[in-house]
């Protein structure tokens, strides 16, 4: 069995990306741009790590359709091991993602083949030979239960990271506890952690650390409308210290496409984590990755190579990777 450094376990989707001038609750808006591109939170993070040269694999499901083939082919271009991805007699999962000129988003999920993934599809031995398993959300409870069962079967040597997203955060701390207490790194945004814990994001992060998480990362950017000189893009707590990651100054006329920004941040952070970097350095790498991602349409088009990441890291930190 080939050695894999990181395995992702989450939904695989084709993202339908619709650009509008403004997100609205009731009324009409003109779509100014549309793209159909590969997505899925863990899948985006794994793709980003693979592009940096990390040996990666994935556990998930696609449909036996053109969309499923597109997702598999996209992984193969980045040298992600696709041997554990199951092809189901169903439509591939998809999302409708609306984003406006301020970088705000609304996402609607149609799970498709993701909801057919079952325990017989998950090879625990494959996951137990890796350094880290990165978990993200599924739409249905059955796949969440698979993840809960999985973390109980993982060797102690295998680290776990989790991005619960807005699908898992409402489940609450009690339901998520089997995964949270096993996680070395948890990635959330402010809305997610405040919804999950019922507390201000900094207090919520400290609560997760108290419950067993080693490091909690809270991303704070919500697009261009929120980017200010005195703002931080991420807050990180590891139980001993708190860190605030300052953003690179953006051109106020920039057009941001924030789909996958959090996934890119996770890729950069985990890259540093696997390299033994300090927590604050991991946070900077995450911010740099997210900065690359939001410059292009879709979750993956802007993700950097290792050379590009290294160059930007040197510029911002004065240190070499």
Q: What is the pLDDT of residue 229?
A: 35
The arithmetic mean of pLDDT across residues 71-94, rounded, is 98
- Enter the DSSP assignment of 61: E
pLDDT value for 76: 97
CA distance 117 to 307: 36
Q: All domains of the chain, ordered by start, with CATH?
A: 6-317 (3.40.1190.20)
Q: What is the pTM of this model?
A: 0.93
Question: Tokens 């108290």 sit at which residue?
Answer: 210
Percent of the chain exceeding pLDDT 90 equals 83
Task: List CB contacts of 316: < 8 A, sequence separation 6 or more.
Answer: 248, 284, 288
- pLDDT band for position 294 (cuts 50, 70, 90): confident
pLDDT per residue as tens digits for the range 213-227: 999 999 987 543 444
Vertex 45: Cα angle to 215 and 301 (nearest 5): 140
- Distance between CA atoms of residues 312 and 35, nearest Å: 28
Distance CA 25, CA 120 (A): 41
Q: Residues 84-120: pLDDT tens digits?
A: 999 999 999 999 999 888 778 889 999 999 999 999 9
- 98 Cβ neighbours under 8 A, 6+ residues apart: 18, 20, 23, 105, 106, 107
- Residue 169's beta-bridge partner residues? none
Tell me the Cα Rg of the chain.
18
Query: How far apart (Å, rounded) are the C-alpha atoms in residues 235 and 239?
Result: 13
């Amino acid at each position: 069995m080939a050695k894999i450094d990181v395995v992702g376990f989450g939904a695989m989707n084709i993202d339908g990306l619709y650009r509008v001038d403004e997100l609205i609750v009731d009324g009409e808006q003109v779509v100014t741009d549309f793209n159909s591109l590969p997505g899925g939170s863990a899948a985006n993070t794994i793709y980003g790590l693979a592009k940096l040269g990390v040996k990666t694999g994935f556990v998930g499901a696609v449909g036996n359709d053109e969309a499923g083939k597109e997702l598999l082919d996209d992984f193969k271009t980045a040298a992600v091991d696709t041997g554990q991805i199951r092809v189901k007699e169903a439509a591939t999962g998809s999302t409708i993602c609306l984003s406006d000129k301020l970088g705000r988003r609304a996402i609607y999920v149609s799970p498709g083949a993701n909801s057919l993934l079952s325990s017989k599809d998950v090879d625990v031995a494959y996951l137990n030979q890796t350094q880290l398993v990165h978990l993200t959300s599924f739409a249905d409870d059955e796949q969440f239960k698979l993840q809960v069962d999985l973390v109980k079967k993982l060797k102690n040597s295998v680290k776990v990271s989790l991005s619960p997203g807005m699908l898992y955060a409402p489940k609450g701390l009690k339901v998520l506890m089997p995964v949270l207490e096993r996680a070395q790194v948890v990635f959330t945004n402010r809305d997610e952690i405040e919804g999950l814990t019922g507390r201000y994001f900094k207090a919520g992060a400290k609560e997760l650390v108290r419950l067993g998480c080693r490091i909690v990362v809270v991303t704070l950017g919500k697009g261009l409308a929120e980017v200010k000189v005195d703002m931080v893009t991420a807050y990180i707590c590891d139980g001993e210290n708190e860190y605030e990651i300052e953003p690179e100054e953006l051109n106020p006329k920039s057009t941001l496409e924030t789909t996958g920004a959090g996934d890119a941040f996770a890729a950069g952070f985990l890259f540093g984590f696997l390299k033994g970097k300090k927590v604050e350095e991991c946070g900077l790498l995450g911010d740099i990755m997210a900065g690359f991602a939001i410059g292009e349409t879709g979750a993956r088009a802007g993700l950097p190579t290792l050379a590009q990441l290294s160059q930007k890291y040197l510029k911002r930190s004065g240190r070499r990777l």
